[in-house]
Amino acid sequence: MDKNLNTSSERKQNCSDENKCFELLESILDGEGTVDSNEMLNEKLAKCQPCFEHYHLEKAIKEILQNKCTKHMVPSELAATIRQKIQELK
């Protein structure tokens, strides 16, 4: 197992409802959690190894998507072209 998960032995190794749990964990990561979400999240992460791993992996992927995905520069003339076309519409 992962070296830095020193408490992993205390968690259950199988999740009884992965599909549902993982969707829920992802919605919490997406900021769509409800009032009870934090409590639920802490409990799941403390008690369930698959949930713990899924949450941290998804969190890392979300972060690299946000920070590393190639960004394309808007072509410099695009805004001017749009404004010009709109003038023609008037």
- The binding site for other proteins (CB under 8 A) comprises 1-2, 18-19, 22-23, 26-27, 30-32, 50, 53-54, 56-58, 60-66, 68-72, 74-75, 78-79, 81-82, 85-86, 89-90
Q: Which is nearer to other proteins, 46 or 82 (CB)?
A: 82
Q: Could you give the CA distance from residue 14 to residue 8 in angstroms, rounded to a whole number?
A: 12
Q: How far is the CB of 18 from other proteins (least distance, A)?
A: 6
What is the CB neighbour count within 10 angstroms for residue 89? 5
Q: Which is nearer to other proteins, 26 or 41 (CB)?
A: 26
Q: How far is the CB of 53 from other proteins (least distance, A)?
A: 7
Q: Could you give the CA distance from residue 54 to residue 31 in angstroms, rounded to a whole number?
A: 16
| HSE toward the beta carbon, residue 89, CA cutoff 13 A | 6
Tokens 């698959």: give the residue. Answer: 50
